[in-house]
Amino acid sequence: MTDILDAADASAPVTLDEIPREPTQDGPKVRLYLIDGSGFIFRAFHALPPLTRKSDGLPIGAVSGFCNMLWKLLVDMKASDEAPTHLAVVFDKSEQTFRKDLYADYKAHRPPPPEDLVPQFPLVREATRAFGVPCLELSGYEADDLIAAYACKVRDLGGEVVIVSSDKDLMQLVGPQVSMLDTMKNVKIGPEQVVEKFGVPPEKVVDVQALCGDSVDNVPGAPGIGIKTASALILEYGDIDTLLARAGEIKQQKRRETLINFADQIRLSRELVRLDCDTPLPEPIDSLAVQEPGPELAAFLEDMGFRTLARRITDAKSGAGAPATPTAEAKAPARPQHGAIDVNAYQCVRDVETLDAWIARARTAGIVAFDTETDALSSASAELCGVSLAVAPGEACYIPVGHQHESDGGLDFEAKEHLEQIPCEEVIARLKPLLEDPSVLKVAQNAKYDMAVLSRYGIEVGPIEDTMLISFVLEGGLHKSHGMDELSKRWLEHEPISFKTVAGTGKGQKSFKHVALSEATCYAAEDSDVTLRLYEHLRPRLAHEGLLGVYETVERPMPKVLADMELAGVKVDPEQLRILSNDFSVRMAELETKAHELAGRPFNLGSPKQIGEILFAEMGLSSGKKTATGAMSTDASLLEDLAAQGHELPRTLLDWRQLSKLKGTYTDNLIEAISPKTGRVHTSFSLAAATTGRLASSDPNLQNIPIRTEEGRKIRRAFIAEPGHVLISADYSQIELRLLAHIGDIPQLKRAFAEGLDIHAMTASEMFGVPVEGMPAETRRRAKAINFGIVYGISAFGLSNQLSIPREEASAYIKTYFERFPGIRSYMDRMQQQVRAEAFVTTIFGRKVHIPAARGKSQAERSFADRAAINAPIQGAAADVIRRAMIRMPGALEKAGLQARMLLQVHDELVFEAPEAEADRVIEVAKQVMERAAEPAISLSVPLVVEARAAANWDDAH
DNA sequence: ACACTCACG
DNA sequence: GACGTACGTGAGTGTA
């Protein structure tokens, strides 16, 4: 049997006795992990639904959660390159501690633990021991004190300590050898994070906590002083004693009085929060050496009935002995290839000679990572504050161009930093040849943004690569975000300075141009440095993993295309929207009055909770349907049902909701979104949001402008063209079903598309054996719903819901469908097999879509993965097709001598703006490019068909 | 911060 | 046969 908990390095077991003789020269000999047991228990208890043991009904939810968390932690720790040599779980022993003697009300407000949890405390200790992990506890002391004592001891002996907890009270212990690990958020807490939280370094945390107190533990502190004030005071005066001694000097009267009057209470609070390193150690450190679980673990899990975990542990043990697979090797975080990142090593460039020197270095290197700093988020309006460059790992600079002092409201005698900078035009003029030089490769993180900003300064950056897109191509679906901070933490094991730390947060956030140059240099140059390092790390994997083609053809060209679309924006008529908004307001008020009358009392129509109370409790209507959390659902389909039964209030609510949605989400916000600079609306397209490769649009989202209802279409009519111009909408007809026909190789579908038949009618005809001529509309509607359902990974439940038919009937439809189209069944089976084996699927263009849920614990999760695996190759191929069209479009329009511009993409639709006279030719070019977009990569066995129309507004162009 | 609802493909 | 249920998004509001 392989040792699960074996340390990563295979060095012989080390005892603490060796430490004093051989302190730290060869790296830490002891790395002790201290797990905050109480924290784990409460998290496990609250995160999980109540669970009882089958045999006797004993509550074991928290035990189960605790075991899973502990196991995961053990596995993760072992895999990390900071594997523990020693390990223990620390528990609170008793309520009565020395702090209660100091202050009777300490933790007085804390409610007793839930009844269900109490019997689980001893079980959790038993579980810990079963895992081969020692439990530490001591009468009269809290877990925190024991953690402190062990941490101090190991630290003083030259070892390392990792405290697994998110409790802020433990942050005072953090230091060069002591860190914390928050396993929920999966973040490491070092001195930097402590400063972020408390505004002071770890050694001052106690002083800050003494001042601000803690309502949870009922530590009094000083009334009216919060964390902000506390850290400011401590930073100024150094510590509590000095502060209290000099309290009389404080200018603010109230604060001065508080400090003087509550001096004793503050000193007491300090004693309450200070952790005692002199707490006796119940066990010698040597006895905490990591050991593998014995046979009692299996027995314990069996006894509890934790079958899944038991199986996982057995699997891990049998698998761990085998040599690492190549994939596992490729995924293992590689060691950073360069030295550590030192933010103080960067240069601030403020004269032309230095700038030219950096530009020369970039040319010699042939590669430069860069990043723009601006004063706003929208690339269409943001002003440049500076540019950073990195020419090699660790060699980076920041060139400020727009930094200013914050406008001073009064007299300020502090010496102001000199803000002499190279004039912006000068910097732009010198950077332009470099950034446009075809022989120098540029690298950026989210290049689209920087390209859009610089384009407004006359620079067309190229050639360029994008680390965010490289990450997305490699690992799309594996992570929520491909932002730089995450990538840096993941691959470089380095946490970059957060924007919040330099610019502040909330309404006190300052524009980047007001950030001091020294700080701005650290932050900005670090971004370029990190980007370059990420590029060097990630880029080789593209070829290695067969993803270079996807990256080069459908990812890398996109930032330029999208930057131009975003900068172009779309014209929206604010007058029309204002009229609509007023109209909606009036009608909403009428509906509200009516709803209140029908309900017999006033209520908030926007509150699902109140609606539920009125409809179900007061009016006694039946609902049945519940939301995910068990609350009564009041969604549209349910209200529709009730309205159909003849009730008036649901109808009124539906009407109000529609208007409320339209007004709140569209009319009012679209007016605000109009840029004062351009008079147009500039969305932001995200390339790395949807795992299938679809784009996403935000700020504002222009991919969900209403179209399905008449009222909604009025909003679409406010999207217009410049005078003398038209909007052109070109959309793929049935692209997903066509791609399914090709991918799944379905003869009937292919034939129907080749002959240009009505695909839904054809489906209905095949399924129900009725001729297309004279087919009832309802029959076709059902077939249409089935076709959509197929693309989504159909289920009887989903279809019955969609069509409001009994599940048995839906089931029968699906059965018939699979009989008529057996190819679809086999496509679905193939995707399910693939995703269960590999946890990813690919599109015909080679895009890889990771679906980690396929490895999920629950059946439900895996079923979800199956459906996603059926959908992703279809949705993803459609996304690839339209990307290919978009990439070719600007060139095709230009080649045809047209001025038309592409403005928007809505998944299967492209929107253009063109001079009226060009309309017909633009339609011709757009159709051709779009219909041939799959070529030459893929020769589709079905035709792609595009319908296009020109009109004065977006609605009429459909 | 999260749940709910709803706009789109 | 059990399991929760159609796939992919972004945004506003209410509620804790």
Q: What is the per-residue pLDDT across A28-58, written as a single tens digit (0 to 9) for each?
A: 579 999 999 988 898 888 777 778 777 777 7
Using DSSP, state whether A289 is helix, strand or coil.
strand
Q: How far apart are the first and last CA of chain A?
A: 67
Cα separation, A396 vs A268, whole angstroms: 49
Pick out residues 905-944 of chain A having their CB under 7 A from any atom of nucleic acid strand B: 906-909
Q: Kindly report each contact of residues A165-170 with a partner whose C-beta sits within 8 Å and lies 24 or more positions away, as own/partner.
A: A165/A35, A165/A36, A165/A39, A166/A39, A167/A36, A167/A39, A168/A197, A168/A198, A169/A144, A169/A209, A169/A214, A169/A217, A169/A273, A169/A275, A170/A36, A170/A144, A170/A275
Give the range among A231-240, A516-525, A868-877 with minimum mean pLDDT: A231-240
How confident is the model at residue A319, as a pLDDT?
63
Determine the pLDDT at residue A89.
96
Alpha helix stretches (DSSP H) within A686-838: 710-716, 735-743, 747-754, 759-768, 777-792, 796-803, 807-820, 822-838
Query: Cα separation of A74 and A311, whole Å?
Result: 16
| Helix or strand (DSSP H, E) at A672 | helix A668-673
From residue A868, alpha-carbon distances to A566, A628, A696, A828 in Å are: 30, 20, 18, 11
Distance, in Å, from the CA atom of A872 to the CA atom of A477, rounded to the nearest integer, reads 11
Write out the two tokens for A361: 């270095």
Asked if residue A223 has a cis previous peptide bond (ω within 30° of 0), the answer is no
Residues A417-427, mean pLDDT to the nearest whole number: 91
What residue is closest to C3 (Cα–C1')?
A: A860
pLDDT reading at A80 higher than 70: yes
A629: its two tokens: 């959390």
Which amino acid is present at A363? R
For the domain bounded by A571-681, which CATH number is listed?
A: 1.20.1060.10
Reported as type and span, the H/E element at residue A254 is helix A253-261
| Residue A868: nearest nucleotide (C-alpha to C1') | C7
Burial class (CB in 10 A: 0-12, 13-18, 19+), A35: buried
Spatial CB neighbours of A786, under 8 Å, sequence gap ≥ 6? A763, A767, A794, A799, A813, A814, A817
Angstrom CA distances, A527 to A70, A371, A396, A476, stand at: 35, 7, 9, 22
Backbone angles phi, psi at A688, to 5 degrees: -120, 35
User: What is the H or E stretch that residue A910 is in?
Assistant: strand A909-915
pLDDT digits (tens, 9 = 90+) for A604-650: 999 999 999 999 888 888 767 888 788 888 999 889 889 988 899 99
Environment class of A277 (CB within 10 Å of its CB; exposed 0-12, middle 13-18, buried 19+):
middle
Q: Do A18-192+280-304 and A571-681 have matching folds?
A: no
In chain A, pLDDT over 70 holds for what percent of residues?
93
H-only helix segments in A289-405: 296-304, 307-320, 326-331, 352-365
Q: Is a pLDDT exceeding 50 seen at residue A15?
A: no
Inform me whether the pLDDT recorded for A225 exceeds 90.
Answer: no
pLDDT digits (tens, 9 = 90+) for A913-954: 999 999 999 999 999 999 999 999 999 999 999 999 999 999
Residue the block writes with tokens 């400063």 = A195
For residues A357-384, give the mean pLDDT. Answer: 95
Strands (E), A375-439: 384-392, 395-400
- Give the HSE-up count for residue A932: Cα atoms under 13 Å, Cβ half-sphere: 10
CATH number of A18-192+280-304: 3.40.50.1010
Query: Is A720 a residue whose pLDDT tops 80?
Result: yes
Angle at A308 between CA A303 and CA A309, to 5 degrees: 75
DSSP bridge pairs for A767: none
Instruction: Give the residue among A71, A12, A7, A8 at the shortest CA–CA distance from A291.
Output: A7
pLDDT score for A412:
53
Residue A408 CA to nucleotide C9 C1', Å? 44
C-beta separation of A331 from A491 below 8 A? no
Q: With left for phi above 0 and alpha for psi between -120 and 50, is residue A14 left, alpha or beta?
A: beta
Nearest residue to A314 (alpha-carbon basis) of A330, A326, A298: A298
Closest residue, CA to C1' of B9: A907
Instruction: Point out the residue nearest to B6 (C-alpha to C1').
Output: A661
DSSP 8-state code for residue A52: B
Which token pair is A783? 């077939």
pLDDT at A586 over 90: yes
CB-proximal positions of chain C, under 7 Å? 1-16
**Six-digit token pair at A180?**
């914390």
pLDDT band of residue A17 (cuts 50, 70, 90) is: very low
User: What dotted CATH number matches A343-405+419-503+510-568?
Assistant: 3.30.420.10
Please give the structure tokens belonging to residue A560: 């330029």
How distant is C1' of C5 from CA of A858, in Å?
A: 14
CB A629 under 7 Å to nucleic chain B = yes
- In angstroms, the CA of A672 and the C1' of C12 are apart by 15
- Residue A336 pLDDT grade (very low, low, confident, very high; cuts 50, 70, 90): low
Total Cβ atoms within 10 A of residue A892: 15
Across chain A, how many H-helices and E-strands are there? 39, 23
Distance A51 CA to C5 C1' (A): 23
Q: Which residue is nearest to nucleotide B8 (CA to C1')?
A: A704
Instruction: Among all protein residues, pick the one whose CA is nearest to the C1' atom of C12.
Output: A665
Q: Average pLDDT, whole number, for chain A?
A: 89
- Average of per-residue pLDDT across A522-539: 96
CATH H-level superfamily of A736-872: 5' to 3' exonuclease, C-terminal subdomain (1.10.150.20)
Give the residue nearest to nucleotide B7 (CA to C1'): A704
CA distances from A288 to A134, A174, A339 (A): 6, 21, 33
CB A285 within 8 A of CB A154: yes
> Is the N-terminal amide bond of A400 cis, ω within 30° of 0?
no
Strand B bases with any atom < 7 A from protein Cβ: 3-9
A668-697 confidence digits (pLDDT tens): 999 999 999 999 999 999 999 999 999 999
SS3 A697: strand
What's the pLDDT at A343? 86
Tell me how far apart the alpha carbons of residues A792 and A805 are, in angstroms, rounded to a whole number: 18
Q: What is the pLDDT of residue A324?
A: 37
Q: How far apart are CA A320 and CA A323, in angstroms?
A: 8
Average pLDDT over residues A105-130: 82
Which parts of A569-647 fold into alpha helices (H)? 574-599, 608-612, 636-644
Q: Is the CB of A664 under 7 A from strand B?
A: no
pLDDT per position as a tens digit, A187-221: 788 898 888 888 889 999 999 999 988 877 778 88
Q: Is the pLDDT of residue A274 over 60?
A: yes
User: What's the pLDDT at A415?
Assistant: 58
| CA of residue A861 to C1' of nucleotide C3, angstroms | 9
As beta bridge partners, residue A904 has A911
Please choose, from the candidates A910, A942, A929, A884, the residue with its C-alpha nearest in 3D space to the C-alpha of residue A739.
A942
Provide the residue ranges of all domains of chain A, joining segments of one domain with +.
18-192+280-304, 343-405+419-503+510-568, 571-681, 736-872
Of the segments A107-116, A251-260, A291-300, A651-660, which one has the largest average pLDDT value? A651-660
Is the pLDDT assigned to residue A8 strictly greater than 70? no
State which H helix or E strand residue A444 sits in.
strand A441-444
CB A10 within 8 A of CB A85: no
pLDDT on residue A321: 44
Residue A70 has pLDDT above 60, yes or no: yes
For the cut 70, the answer to whether the pLDDT of residue A551 exceeds it is yes
Task: Please tell me the distance from the alpha carbon of residue A214 to that of residue A220, in angstroms, as a whole number.
Answer: 7
Question: Could you please report the per-residue DSSP string of A471-500?
Answer: HHHHHBTTBS---HHHHIIIII---PPPHH
A706 C-beta less than 7 Å away from strand B: yes
